[in-house]
């Protein structure tokens, strides 16, 4: 669990992806090396949203669960 100091908000990333980005994995290729964690595949097709358990990045599938 990531803790933040009082008065600070956690900086979570938010990404909108399309069907061409599937299968979804985090971290994405454009991340800097220092930001990497083990690659994890995220099941986004059923709900249209997924959150990375490592870094908290939130992904939304454009068009929703049925838009792919």
Q: Which domain holds residue 51?
A: 14-61
* Domains contained in the chain, number: 1
Q: Cis peptide before 23, with omega less than 30 degrees from 0?
A: yes
Q: Is the residue at 48 inside a domain?
A: yes
**Statement: residue 21 has pLDDT above 80:** yes
* Distance in angstroms (rounded) separating the CA atoms of residues 37 and 27: 7
Q: What's residue 65's pLDDT?
A: 72
Which residue has better confidence, 35 or 41? 41
Q: Is the residue at 66 inside a domain?
A: no
Decide: residue 50, CB within 10 A, 0-12 exposed, 13-18 middle, 19+ buried: buried
Q: Is the residue at 55 inside a domain?
A: yes
Which residue has better confidence, 3 or 20? 20
- In percent, the amount of the chain with pLDDT more than 70 equals 69
Q: Is the residue at 2 inside a domain?
A: no
pTM: 0.71
């Amino acid at each position: 669990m990531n803790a933040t100091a009082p008065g600070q908000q956690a900086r979570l990333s938010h990404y909108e992806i399309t069907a061409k980005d599937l299968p979804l994995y985090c971290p994405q290729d454009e991340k800097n090396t220092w930001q990497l964690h083990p690659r994890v595949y995220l099941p986004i097709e059923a709900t249209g949203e997924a959150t990375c358990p490592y870094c908290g990045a939130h992904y939304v599938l454009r068009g929703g669960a049925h838009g792919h």
